[in-house]
Amino acid sequence: MDSSSPCHLDRIVLEHHSAETLDKSGLDAIGAADQSEFDKALHNLTSAPPDGKPHWDFEESERRRRERASLVSQPFLFVHIAVATLDGGLCAAGITTELRASARERPVINYNGEQVFAALSIWEAAPLALAVPSAGLEHAVTERLDTQIKEFITAWQTANGQ
């Protein structure tokens, strides 16, 4: 939701909170927001006019490219939070959490006559939905997100003999 909406959630705050929870359990966590500097620099480079000279630090970009290449081969915990404004000052949210992985051969499905990438889902939590007054939205979402992340941590530790 737009930052002016009473049902707005701060994605970066939620990502950092979730990353801390995963880190405390011994799992490495990097939020999508942590990659924003690279994405911004890449956008500036690709959108610059042909005669323009955008700032580009080659060594830094190479380091980040290698990091991204390494991350692409790792499984990742994908969290989707959808938010809507309801009548009477209420906010609704739905949360889905799943562990996704990549494969050497990118799996695709036929969707509307086109080949579309299909992620491999290895684990998923039961979807959660809630409706709360806008003042309690962040707390309610964080609480339920914590529940799903803790379920994932337990499943990961069990699967890895911990």
61-93: pLDDT as tens digits: 787 777 777 766 778 888 999 999 999 989 999
Q: How confident is the model over 111-131, as a mean pLDDT?
A: 90
Give tens-digit pLDDT for 12-71. Answer: 889 889 989 999 998 877 666 555 555 666 566 667 666 665 565 677 778 777 777 776
* Tokens linked to 79: 């969290």
What 3-state DSSP class applies to 84? strand
Q: Give yes or no for residue 4 having a pLDDT over 90.
A: no
pLDDT confidence of 140, banded at 50, 70, 90?
very high
3-state secondary structure (DSSP) of residue 56 = coil
Helix, strand, coil percentages (3-state) for the chain, rounded to 5, are: 45, 25, 30
Nearest partner of 56 among 68, 46, 66, judged by Cα: 46
- Residue 90: per-residue pLDDT: 95
Residue with token string 């890449």: 42
Statement: residue 121 has pLDDT above 90 = no
Tell me, what's the pLDDT at 45?
60
CA dist 21 and 23 (Å) reads 6
Q: How far is CA 15 from CA 22, 47, 128, 145, in A?
A: 11, 28, 18, 10
The SS3 assignment for 1 reads: coil
Which is more confident, 135 or 51? 135
